[in-house]
Amino acid sequence: MNELYEPQYIEALLRRHGFTFSKSLGQNFLVEASVVERTAEHVDARCGVLEIGPGHGALTRPLAARAGKVVAVEADARLLPVLGETLAGCENVSVRLGDATKLDLRALCEAEFAGLVPCLCANLPYNVTTPVLENAARAGCFRRIVVMVQKEAAQRLLTRPGDERWGVVPALLAARYTGRILFTVGRSSFLPPPHVDSAVVAFERLAEPVVGEAEFPAYERVVRAAFAQRRKTLSNALSAAGISPDILGEVGIDPRLRGERLLPEDFLKIARRL
Residue from the set 52, 70, 153, 169 that interacts with ligand SAM by CB under 6 A: 52
DSSP 101: G
CB of 1 to ligand SAM, least distance (A): 13
Establish if 29 lies at the interface with ligand SAM (CB under 6 A).
yes
Residue from the set 66, 120, 121, 123 that interacts with ligand SAM by CB under 6 A: 123
The strand pairing partners of 148, in sequence order, are: 123, 200
In degrees and rounded to multiples of 5, residue 244 shows phi and psi of: -65, 125
Establish if 40 lies at the interface with ligand SAM (CB under 6 A).
no
**Residue 149 vs 262, nearer CB to ligand SAM:** 149
Alpha helices in the chain (DSSP H): 7-16, 33-40, 60-66, 80-86, 105-112, 129-139, 151-157, 168-174, 216-228, 234-240, 246-250, 264-271
Yes or no: say if 64 and 87 are a contact pair by the CB < 8 Å rule.
yes
Establish if 25 lies at the interface with ligand SAM (CB under 6 A).
yes
| Dihedral angle over CA of 212, 41, 60, 52, nearest 10 | 30
Residue from the set 13, 26, 119, 133 that interacts with ligand SAM by CB under 6 A: 26
| Segment near ligand SAM (CB under 6 A); pick from 70-78, 87-95, 135-143, 149-157 | 70-78
Establish if 74 lies at the interface with ligand SAM (CB under 6 A).
yes
SS3 67: coil
> What residues make contact with ligand SAM under the rule CB under 6 A?
25-30, 52-55, 58-59, 73-76, 79, 99-101, 123, 125, 128
